[in-house]
Structure 1
Amino acid sequence: MESRLEQQPVNYKISCTGLSKSFGNNNNKVDVLATMDLHVKENEFLVILGPGQSGKSTLFRIMAGMETPSTGTVTIDGKKVTGPGPEIGFVFQRYTLFPWKTVLGNVEMGPKLRGLAKNERREVAQHYIDLVGLKGFENHYPHQLSGGMKQRVSIARAYANNPKIMLLDEPFGQLDAQTRILMEQETIRIWEAEKRTVCFVTNNIEEAVYLGDRIVTLDGKLPGKLSHVYEVDLPRPRDFTDLEFLKLRQKITDESQLVL
């Protein structure tokens, strides 16, 4: 069986080189991503920050192998991505749970499809249900859960596949402000407990500064272009009222097309 990954020189966990994306052709052509290079380190928490219609989700879909770039390549551990694979876990903005399955049934789906025995996949699923703080809700169905709890299930389900990389595409965009802050805190707790390389898309500056080791901003008009890169040298856990936090937040605000 042909591998979905082709051998390339290893430099970063993820390398996007000469990447661009256009849809349509001739008079109907829409350029979504301008040519860009983006590299992500092992276990880094990278945040991609940009307004709507800046190509963020398209970039993520290309990184996950769900879209084919018009030019350029994506590599993971030096191997070219040519399609979706188990090395990447993806969490979407909209809840993508199976409504007819319980929390446990949703989380164990990936291990089940991989052929793990029932007792083994239950053990894996329970570990991640506990990790995201849903112990006691194993037999609840999605309609019985709040929005924040549904995203916890989505995160647990992605982790249960044991991916090398987690891609989170504006996962908290539908949550109220208080729940969003709680989920940001939980995301860092989970990441610190089980380190993975994480790429996180958002249009929220405070969220980006709170979460990221590094922030990459995209310009606000199509085609999306890499604009600025910010190294976030702030200790964790981070405080939204800390002076250095506020300075970086203001700097990004001044240099981007985003508003607080």
Structure 2
Amino acid sequence: MPKLQCVGVSKIFGEGARRNHVLDSVDLEVKEDEFLVVLGPGQSGKSTLLKILAGLEKPTSGKVYLDGKEVTGPGPDRGLVFQKYTLFPWKTVLGNVAMGPKLCRHSKKEAIEIAMHYIDLVGLKGFEKSYPHQLSGGMKQRVGIARAYANRPKIMLLDEPFGQLDAQTRILMEQETVRIWEKEKRTVIFVTNNIEEAIFLGDRIISLEGKLPGRMKTIYDVNLPRPRLYTELEFLKLRNTITNETALLL
């Protein structure tokens, strides 16, 4: 049984003249501990798909299953990291990361221990007493990742989390994402519009058509060893293939 499954998922917003068909008949299966990348340009429905997987949006038709159970709303079994830094500015790094375990009824001591484990995992040990305004963009996104992991979710959902970062920091965060995933495996679904990022991160890449309604177009198996190099021949070949096929969709 797949870890996560979409069956005929479609999404329509509005009615009549304001009707906007965003997703059309998405069928998808994600394996246990797989790193799946959903790749598509802007306005292809990929963020809407992730919100449906998170339970933040309901599909107009079709169903989503996690471990065989239908997803009907948000839950702690799914960790979500957004492009924008959704940290509580009045809380420290430790306070932000420990909030999930506290809400899950862990004792204060247990919540701090869990939070410190993930703060260390994302490379922020020593910054646990810092506030968000004292952190760089990359560090803020590390806090977001640590906070999502601290809830011990079954699946991680990341919605273009590095879109606001400069190129150098973005590459560093891609490397860190792989390191964290390899150290503490989870099923990951990562949304991006960046082809190189998709190849660097993914076990598989699902491309969406470059126009609405979003439809699954091509599945790419990324059979490249890790750690990956952006300049290796097979990486460049796959990038060229995806680039050419994407250009035909736009």
TM-score, structure 2 normalization: 0.98
Q: Secondary structure at the match of 1:128?
A: helix
Match of 1:241 in 2: 231
Q: 1:27 offset after TM fit, Å?
A: 2.3
The residue identity in structure 2 corresponding to 1:117 is S
Which one of 113, 124, 130 corresponds to residue 140 of structure 1? 130
1:220-231 equivalences under 5 Å are: 220-231=210-221
Equivalent pairs, count: 249
Structure 2 Cα separation of the partners of residues 235 and 250 of structure 1: 18
Q: 1:258 offset after TM fit, Å?
A: 8.9
Match of 2:36 in 1: 46
Structure 2 Cα separation of the partners of residues 73 and 200 of structure 1: 20
Deviations 1:117-166 (A, max 9, x none): 11111000000000000000000000000000000000000000000000
Structure 1 Cα separation of the partners of residues 113 and 77 of structure 2: 20
Contact 1:219 1:257 in 2 (8 A): no
Match of 1:250 in 2: 240
**1:64 and 2:61 equivalent?**
no
Q: Secondary structure at the match of 2:129?
A: coil
TM-score, structure 1 normalization: 0.95
Match of 2:192 in 1: 202
Contact 2:39 2:195 in 1 (8 A): yes
Q: Any stretches of 5+ residues in structure 1 without a counterpart?
A: 1-10
Contact 2:37 2:204 in 1 (8 A): yes
Q: Secondary structure at the match of 2:116?
A: helix
Q: Secondary structure at the match of 2:58?
A: coil
Structure 2 Cα separation of the partners of residues 124 and 198 of structure 1: 20
Task: Report the identity percentage.
Answer: 71
Structure 2 Cα separation of the partners of residues 88 and 82 of structure 1: 12
1:1-260 equivalences under 5 Å are: 11-257=1-247
Contact 1:216 1:227 in 2 (8 A): yes
Contact 1:219 1:227 in 2 (8 A): yes
Q: Secondary structure at the match of 1:99?
A: coil
The residue identity in structure 2 corresponding to 1:54 is S
Structure 1 Cα separation of the partners of residues 218 and 105 of structure 2: 44
The residue identity in structure 1 corresponding to 2:2 is Y
Structure 1 Cα separation of the partners of residues 109 and 133 of structure 2: 26
Contact 1:23 1:30 in 2 (8 A): yes
Contact 1:87 1:165 in 2 (8 A): yes
- Shifted more, 27-36 versus 163-172: the winner is 27-36
Q: 1:227 offset after TM fit, Å?
A: 0.8
Q: 1:26 offset after TM fit, Å?
A: 2.1
Q: Secondary structure at the match of 1:229?
A: strand
The residue identity in structure 2 corresponding to 1:133 is G
Contact 2:8 2:24 in 1 (8 A): no
The residue identity in structure 2 corresponding to 1:37 is D
Contact 1:50 1:258 in 2 (8 A): no
Structure 2 Cα separation of the partners of residues 207 and 28 of structure 1: 34
Please identify runs of 4+ aligned residues in structure 1 that moved more than 3 A. none
Q: 1:114 offset after TM fit, Å?
A: 1.0
Q: Secondary structure at the match of 1:256?
A: helix
Structure 2 Cα separation of the partners of residues 104 and 42 of structure 1: 29
